[in-house]
Structure 1
């Protein structure tokens, strides 16, 4: 014992490759787990059947097991732990002393990525996505999911008057159709927990994106962005706080406190708990989207199993088997959960939670979203709720004057037009500036600052806005008689962005170049990468986004430089793709 972590919320989602590696490791561990589970379960049955006896109480020789659980399921696990003590449940002849503590999963996921060792043996978050997040990188703890002990579909709840107006329970909706009710006008006040801190919020927003894409195709991004913007205005820090925003009476769309929500993205279990305590008018009615509800899946996860004693690991698995037995399944249902593998929910559970036929509450769950889809959604959310602070750094070396095939314009002319178009995607609260670079543009320096990074809505003394200044600066760029001074410029722009970092905004440097570094007097690539890695500060993240344009660009080079800061590098053949790639890169960096 004596192991400890401090929570840290600055975490990232795993790549598909990382997930594959973890799954391979989990398969290896699971063989031993099955063998141990068989021994532990057999011993438990033997004790209950009277085949094994012990002299006196085994309380003094109990195996202590510390469990950190999501706040919604912690009370149920605490009751199960009390049940284990009351019934003298044992593992290998030793009583189980299980202690349960509640903690938000996003905080635990962050803490498990740090140095040191946790002071708990089992973690039960509300979703496997937190296990993926915590497992990213080489510094994270070894996590071994042993099975899912409960589940709860993510739905949309409405106060009775709003539900009735929407045709509940007879009328069915897709996720896209449900959110359209709230985004078209102000007739329905919709809230949610922060998708950066809530599995319910993130799973639902990802599903809304997939639903809109299926219905609207290329126009889907507009609806998802509108939904994110709406949720950002009424977002809560946690699922518990989100439930506290629900209207306390059955207020219609024209009455009631405008600060309170009439609809909420919520899990079935959370609605169950809310309805149990709310009055008749304050209860929620649940819509189960017909295109499938994502589910919270409560993975029972062993933490740092290789450093657990044999008694601890067996006790952990014994407690998990207890949760699958009839008494504990009934206990979980009493708290509003479906069992881990349960497809057909108990009728009284659904009714108490606010469901009713013909809502499709018993349909198969939606397929879990891929890690890349979760990352993209989180990136989009980040950009929505956080204003951007970007420094654009544009290559103006002589090669940028070369003509783009089939365009009749130079690379720089097309790049400039793309930058101006991309500028229209940002709000007056976003901050953007521009540098140019080649070689020896300003004495011995390869770069020159043209417009300071400021709010696009700010005005100069002459009344010109920052957006207008940037537009003019972009259009005035022209090729210079120099080469590509990429290394020194990247390092200088990164240092400047770090120095002027603004907390609460998405800070980044965007570098646009058409070639590899051609400055013989600059630092080496290795030296630049090492220095960027040394400077990178997770508490003040400034991802570098590098976009290489044209056939002479070095994709490997820009990717390595960008990766050193937590950013990303891209190579495109056509500068007209630049606007799309810039926005894609910002979303990807926001997801990280």
Structure 2
């Protein structure tokens, strides 16, 4: 069978081709067996002997599943109950309920005990989110149920504009085409709530970065060396900005934004989307319900489509009874049998160890030569996902940042290779460049700190945290006044750092003035050359910060250690007490890039 042929009949048995990155459910059985074998009775009790017929009371197992796959799992569970499928003599009583992925992940990360024993979200993205800082409900992976690639779906007239099906694109090229003048109106589900939207936006950034790196490599020869030119973030930010005006709360609601037909009214309706970032399965469901006139056509990027991989996880496994653990394993094994495969395919999903079903592909809107059966894209790293979430956050949501700058005497030290410029000179220049990256809707304030700066206090608020576009007394805007305040910063001769008292006071103020709907953060820049000698201890500071931190109203501390004497490990320990992180720059000129990257990562990791 050729690469782009459409199989009419799915082969069975040994003839199935291996689906990239899909783990067979026998792995799940082995994993759950390994988990339950700790009791010392699993094998001896005949864990893999499922019994006939029911000779014990049914075992109840509750499964929370992504809304798109819940109907298929419910159908399989009902068939198991009807056929009296057993696990070690217990009939299976599997109850499947739909749960919004982002809500379930947030509850699990927060340690809220759920009323279910198995969780099947649509992506490992949510499993990583649920793990959070490690304080949430434990999850035990047990394989993957199904998969569905992430694509760009377009209504027919827009698909023709983009050259469907013969014109193929990388993710970067698709984004550029969709964001160009006169191109189809592109919509997405909110990447904060949709793995589809998040994976697509991450793929745009990675694809653009790779294209930029390839161009750089070409200029530098074939040794693979070359600097990153920021193309990935630039294009991803442009795509995020475009999507921000056409975003939906969820994938099902996104489909409601589509133009309905080719009428002149629909063509001219600016409120309707003509193309969507969508999973193949969602396109299948949409096309299955329509008349055919408004069916979607799918573009599969040539540099690989990320996939929704529907991980199957045991929830708080140590709290499950032996019967529940066995039932969970038995149901996972059941999902790997041919009748379950057919049910999943009937609902538009791809299944393990099988080529894409021809009818699924045709109904979803896939056609040759679109590379619908190409290798799955490598799943993004946790850092990539956090960076994309942060990029989305700072692009779409306004930020509220309080910046606290070290003005101790050591900031007057010269920076090597900077023609006599001091640490403070270079720090101010970097802050001024960073200020230009923020919009008029962003809120930024400024404090300075050094020992006994203001009487007995080691800190002083120079400019309140306010909207950059706000007018100020005497004319001008808050941005202009803040720029003047940055420029006026100067070291205090012979003053020590006063870091700990300042951090506590600034964090209290940032928490007390928290603004809903914005990304709130506290930024501290210090060279750390002189330690506190008359304030609270670091241990006491960390204790108080942990007591103040509120996951429902997060204010991460972003601490940047500046210069050769700075101690990143120290500021990182303090910052992590708030859900933030510490960073280090040897040259203050690097503050701008490090600061913006830190904001992106922190915004992603604190997203609810």
TM-score, normalising length: structure 1: 0.90
- Give the distance between the partners of 1:27 and 1:585, measured in 2 at CA: 40
Residue number in structure 1 paired with 2:383 = 372
- Give the distance between the partners of 2:604 and 2:45, measured in 1 at CA: 41
Q: Answer whether contact 1:40 1:317 (CA < 8 A) is retained.
A: no
- Give the distance between the partners of 1:145 and 1:511, measured in 2 at CA: 39
Establish whether residue 98 from structure 1 lines up as the match of residue 94 from structure 2. Answer: yes
Establish whether residue 143 from structure 1 lines up as the match of residue 139 from structure 2. Answer: yes
- Give the distance between the partners of 2:173 and 2:43, measured in 1 at CA: 48
Residue number in structure 2 paired with 1:118 = 114
Q: 1:32 to 1:552 in 2, by over 3 A?
A: closer
User: Which among 255, 259, 281 is matched to residue 247 of structure 1?
Assistant: 259
Q: Answer whether contact 2:410 2:529 (CA < 8 A) is retained.
A: no
Establish whether residue 66 from structure 1 lines up as the match of residue 62 from structure 2. Answer: yes
Which deviates more, 212-221 or 29-38? 29-38
- Give the distance between the partners of 1:494 and 1:251, measured in 2 at CA: 56
Establish whether residue 232 from structure 1 lines up as the match of residue 244 from structure 2. Answer: yes
Residue number in structure 2 paired with 1:412 = 424
Establish whether residue 402 from structure 1 lines up as the match of residue 413 from structure 2. Answer: yes
Residue number in structure 2 paired with 1:17 = none
CA deviation after TM superposition for structure 1 residue 122, in Å? 1.2
- Give the distance between the partners of 2:476 and 2:281, measured in 1 at CA: 54
Q: Answer whether contact 2:446 2:465 (CA < 8 A) is retained.
A: yes
- Give the distance between the partners of 1:498 and 1:351, measured in 2 at CA: 53
- Give the distance between the partners of 1:254 and 1:186, measured in 2 at CA: 15
CA deviation after TM superposition for structure 1 residue 530, in Å? 1.0
Superposed CA deviations along residues 273-311 of structure 1, whole A, max 9, x for unmatched, are 001112323211000111110111111211122222222
- Give the distance between the partners of 1:191 and 1:157, measured in 2 at CA: 10
User: Which among 422, 425, 434 is matched to residue 437 of structure 2?
Assistant: 425
- Give the distance between the partners of 2:266 and 2:65, measured in 1 at CA: 40
- Give the distance between the partners of 2:82 and 2:268, measured in 1 at CA: 48
- Give the distance between the partners of 2:504 and 2:428, measured in 1 at CA: 23
Q: 1:479 to 1:27 in 2, by over 3 A?
A: farther
Paired residue secondary structure (1:565): coil
Residue number in structure 2 paired with 1:88 = 84
Structure 2, gaps ≥5 residues long: 1-27, 214-228
- Give the distance between the partners of 2:509 and 2:530, measured in 1 at CA: 20
- Give the distance between the partners of 2:44 and 2:465, measured in 1 at CA: 59
Q: Answer whether contact 2:48 2:88 (CA < 8 A) is retained.
A: no
Q: Answer whether contact 1:36 1:314 (CA < 8 A) is retained.
A: no
Matches within 5 A, 1:552-571: 552-571=565-584
Residue number in structure 2 paired with 1:155 = 151
Q: 1:513 to 1:252 in 2, by over 3 A?
A: farther
- Give the distance between the partners of 2:29 and 2:447, measured in 1 at CA: 48
Q: Answer whether contact 2:556 2:580 (CA < 8 A) is retained.
A: yes
CA deviation after TM superposition for structure 1 residue 539, in Å? 1.5
- Give the distance between the partners of 1:550 and 1:445, measured in 2 at CA: 25
Residue number in structure 1 paired with 2:558 = 545
Q: Answer whether contact 1:161 1:251 (CA < 8 A) is retained.
A: no
Q: Answer whether contact 1:40 1:318 (CA < 8 A) is retained.
A: no
Q: 1:470 to 1:36 in 2, by over 3 A?
A: farther
Establish whether residue 572 from structure 1 lines up as the match of residue 585 from structure 2. Answer: yes
CA deviation after TM superposition for structure 1 residue 473, in Å? 0.8
- Give the distance between the partners of 2:423 and 2:94, measured in 1 at CA: 66
- Give the distance between the partners of 1:484 and 1:92, measured in 2 at CA: 67
- Give the distance between the partners of 2:340 and 2:44, measured in 1 at CA: 18
Matches within 5 A, 1:256-267: 256-267=268-279
Superposed CA deviations along residues 320-341 of structure 1, whole A, max 9, x for unmatched, are 2222111111111110011134
Q: 1:587 to 1:377 in 2, by over 3 A?
A: same
- Give the distance between the partners of 1:160 and 1:28, measured in 2 at CA: 45
Residue number in structure 1 paired with 2:497 = 484
Residue number in structure 1 paired with 2:300 = 288
Establish whether residue 275 from structure 1 lines up as the match of residue 287 from structure 2. Answer: yes
Q: 1:171 to 1:252 in 2, by over 3 A?
A: farther
TM-score, normalising length: structure 2: 0.88
- Give the distance between the partners of 2:564 and 2:542, measured in 1 at CA: 23
CA deviation after TM superposition for structure 1 residue 254, in Å? 8.6
Paired residue secondary structure (1:562): helix
Q: Answer whether contact 1:394 1:512 (CA < 8 A) is retained.
A: yes
Paired residue secondary structure (2:147): strand
Q: 1:133 to 1:87 in 2, by over 3 A?
A: same
